[in-house]
Structure 1
Amino acid sequence: MHRHTPTAVGAKVGTPPDLEAELLAVPKVVPELRRAVRGHLGVACLEVQLCVSELLGNVIRHVGEGTPVRVRVARVEGGGIRVEVTDPDPRVLPVLLHATGEDESGRGLVLLDAVARRWGVEQGVASKTVWCEVEAGEE
């Protein structure tokens, strides 16, 4: 990863600060980011790691390898964890597909939709943020 800068944005007493990283979306960063998320949360939290992988993978596949992104992982009220991936292309929006058994791709958002309690897109003028929230899991 190019820059990993955890910050204490909105952190409550006793909770870890948000994890924020700015990096280039390339395949070799995905496992590094998964490890950073696990280390930050202090538990496996496989659903969060899956969401990070799928959201970053979507940027790589649909916006382009090497795209600069910002990744944020934060605890939210109600015991959840929010994952956000922001990229500089507001025009390429995620689409929930219904992949068949023969399809070689198209399952990323289906997986995310299955594990997230909710997800969506915040579209800006010069960027978009795809986000999801999952249960925090056991600590």
Structure 2
Amino acid sequence: MRRPLTLELLATPKAVAGVRSSLRAYMGGPCADLQLCASELLTNVVRHLGEGVPVTVRVGCEQGRTRLEVTDPDPRALPVLCEAADDDESGRGLALLDALTLRWGVEQGPGSKTVWCELATWQSSRSAPDSSSPPSSSWVRVVEVPGPEQPLVEEFGR
């Protein structure tokens, strides 16, 4: 089991690429779904709270799952899953997150919020899945509703 990765940084467009690179190194190879989820969550911070906001990105693998968390200092600006029109230039990030992950949610603290998501570890790392796991593909929907591991304000997923 690998130790969790924690990155503390300022949310900027340039930092998004650095986080993707760090995730690839942490996972030991390609992890496109995990990198896309991190990109979307960090981009939401930049877009809705502004450039230069301090964030903490955490990722860890446990019990067949990879959990990604992005914490920012604004507990009031909550993500909203919406449906973008065909001609909208934005508004699809959380829909992508929802489609790629087993579940996702938001935890509010007194001076922060954490948006988190969980992917099957086979989906977020280059290691081959065992024969009981579905193939790694963003077209596969994994249907699994685990019990809550900690209190949540909101939880989304299957």
> Could you tell me the TM-score, scaled by structure 1's length?
0.87
Q: Distance in 1 between matches of 2:70 and 2:49?
A: 12
**Aligned pairs (5 A) from 1:20-99:** 20-77=6-63, 79-99=64-84
Do 1:98 and 1:110's aligned partners in 2 also have CA atoms closer than 8 Å? yes
Matched residue SS, 1:28 = helix
Q: Tell me which amino acid in the other structure corresponds to 1:83.
A: L
Quote the residue 1:105 is aligned against: 90
Q: Distance in 2 between matches of 1:101 and 1:114?
A: 17
Q: Tell me which amino acid in the other structure corresponds to 2:24.
A: R
Q: Tell me which amino acid in the other structure corresponds to 2:120.
A: E
Question: Structure 1 residue 80: deviation in Å?
Answer: 1.0
Q: Specify which of 89, 108, 120 is matched with residue 135 of structure 1.
A: 120
Q: Tell me which amino acid in the other structure corresponds to 1:129.
A: T
Q: Distance in 2 between matches of 1:45 and 1:80?
A: 13
Q: What per-residue deviation string (whole Å, max 9, x for no partner) do you get for residues 20-55 of structure 1?
A: 010000000111110100001102111110111001
Q: Tell me which amino acid in the other structure corresponds to 2:9.
A: L
Question: Structure 1 residue 99: deviation in Å?
Answer: 0.4
Which runs of no fewer than 5 residues in structure 1 stay unpaired? 1-14
Which runs of no fewer than 5 residues in structure 2 stay unpaired? 128-158
Runs (4+) of structure 1 exceeding 2 A deviation are none
Q: Distance in 1 between matches of 2:66 and 2:94?
A: 17
Q: Specify which of 94, 98, 101 is matched with residue 116 of structure 1.
A: 101
Q: Cα RMSD (Å) of the superposition?
A: 0.8
